Amino acid sequence: MNERDTETIRGLLRQEGYSFTDSPEDADLILYNTCCVRENPERKVYGQVGQLQELKAKKPGLIIGICGCMPQQEEELPVMLERLPHVDLFFGTHNIHRLPELLHRINATGERVVEILDDGGEPVEGLPALRDNDFKAFVTIMHGCNNFCSYCIVPYVRGRERSRTPEAILDEIRNLADAGVKEVTLLGQNVNSYGKDLQSDTDFADLLEMVNEVPGIQRIRFTTSHPKDISDKLIQQLGSLDKVCEHLHLPVQAGSNNVLRRMNRKYTREYYLEIVEKVRQAVPGISLTTDIMVGFPGESDADFADTLSLVEEVGFDSAFTFIYSLRKGTPATEMADQVPEEVKKERIYQLIDLQNKISLKRNQALVGSEVEVLVEGASKSDSHMLTGKTRTAKTVLFPGSQDLIGELVKVKIVEAQTWSLVGELI
Ligand code: SAH
Ligand code: SF4
């Protein structure tokens, strides 16, 4: 979501005549797009932006800005304003389109500008975007979230669900296809509730069907799906729409019903497993990935054992694993029985270890198979090796010429590793 926002910010800046540099010393403007979902990245912002104080002293005309969801937190903003006195600009997730005007204001007055809006209002359409490549693109289909999982800050900083209209989404995707984009990833905090806030009765499964019709688009991905809202209709569509990739990211968060209840996830372990079963029946060979958290308040050894057993039972292809971190203003922060840091660490190591073994095993099962790969670039360590993604969202490395970047090719898998596959062009 933040990466997609960054593309809009870059698009707006390009329209304003800015060009881009990798070196802070050369920059007239340095913008940090922050995320407040977990604590660690927030700490890094204070460290990294803090270090720019010296550069700012040497180059007084330099504008430093912080945007994203971190300044969107009511309690964090005053701390940022005080601890980062050399930052000229603060804006949030709801007023990205106002960036040119905010910059003009700083240039005109030389004063610090802080503009944070509480409410997103209607989605703003027609903003430019500057993407890193021209063959795949993120497309936001909805903003915000209504779920209020008890650990999560997102609904507070990104506001309630606001779906873009199917017309606006399809227009954007048709334009992308005309520009040569082959793969789109539809973005929302919970795409399964797409359209519930619109007048039309288009739901997410219908939207997928419409996107599937767009000529030129060859792969459709989406993230994220909340298990409680995944419908049988959607599961059927996953199996029948040819461009929809065989991959489902379905965050489970925990394997214990006690924990799931206190997380306010609104499903049980049994329900989750039932969905997995249905999805695997509808789409044989689908890869399943997930988000899992350890150390949620009150998580006992037995609860954690339930997470491990669920991970084993499902056999995820891969998982994003997180240590629970307290977020101010969320209900879980107030819960008793916060889990000690060393216990959280011990648990995450165990979880990662188990998931790595499963990932490797699932990758090994692919050795000898032939897969379609969208070539994304050259390997950083060896320019003769290309890297790309299968429809099942697995990374494949294989020897080939850089002319193939952006193309769909057929590759035979010859070796499996935990995080990637090695192949040969067919
Ligand atoms: N909307 C998505 C997730 C968005 S946040 C969904 O519901 O699945 C991405 C992931 O960050 C979450 O799935 C969760 O695993 C993790 N996360 C969110 N809040 C967190 C917190 N307070 N501490 C640790 N991890 C958190
Ligand atoms: Fe956060 Fe839950 Fe919404 Fe995902 S569904 S963004 S975890 S509140």
Determine the structural domain holding residue 294 and report its residue range: 247-365
- Nearest to 297, CA basis, from 321, 273, 324: 324
Per-residue confidence band for 200, with pLDDT thresholds at 50, 70 and 90:
confident
Q: How far is the CA of 68 from the centre of ligand 2 (A)?
A: 17
Same domain, 283 and 331: yes
- Report angle CA 100, 188, 254 to the nearest 5 degrees: 130
Q: Which two tokens stand for residue 53?
A: 């104080």
228 shares its domain with 148: yes
Q: How far apart are CA 13 and CA 96, in angstroms?
A: 11
Answer yes or no: do 357 and 378 share one domain: no
Measuring CA to CA, which residue among 295, 338, 292, 344 is closest to residue 319?
292
Q: Which ligand is nearest to the CA of 151?
A: 1
Would the CB of 145 count as within 6 Å of ligand 2?
yes
Segment 346-394, tens digit of pLDDT: 999 999 999 999 999 999 999 999 999 999 999 888 888 999 999 999 9
CB of 338 sitting under 6 A from ligand 1: no
On whether both 154 and 72 belong to a single domain, the answer is: no
Residue 123 resides in a domain: no
**Measured from the CA of 224, which atom of ligand 2 is nearest?**
4
Strand (E) or helix (H) holding 341: helix 341-364
Tally the domains of the chain. Answer: 4
- Looking from the CA of residue 326, the nearest atom of ligand 1 is 22
pLDDT at residue 120, as a whole number: 79
Residue 280: give its domain's CATH number. Answer: 3.30.750.200
- Which bound ligand lies closest to the C-alpha atom of 253? 1
Task: Say yes or no: 226 and 307 in one domain.
Answer: no
97's tokens: 């389109």
Q: Evaluate if residue 85 carries a pLDDT over 90.
A: yes
pLDDT of the residue at 308: 98
Mean pLDDT in residue range 111-133: 92
Region 203-219: what's the mean pLDDT? Answer: 98
Residue 195 in contact with residue 164, Cβ under 8 Å? Answer: no
Co-location of 145 and 101 in the same domain: no
Instruction: With a cut of 90, say whether residue 178 has pLDDT above it.
Output: yes
C-alpha span between 188 and 145 (Å, rounded): 8
Read off the tokens for 405.
């970047």
DSSP label at 160?
S
pLDDT, residue 250, reads: 98
Closest CA to 114 of 72, 148, 163, 54: 72
* Last residue within a domain, chosen from 245, 276, 309: 245
Q: Does 148 share its domain with 105?
A: no
| pLDDT value at residue 382 | 86
CA distance 382 to 379: 5
Shared domain check, 352 and 303: yes
- Does residue 75 register a pLDDT over 90? yes
Per-residue pLDDT at 14 exceeds 90? yes
Q: Judge if the beta carbon of residue 289 lies within 6 A of ligand 2.
A: no
State in Å: Cα 324 to ligand 2 middle: 14
What's the mean pLDDT when you consider all of the chain?
96
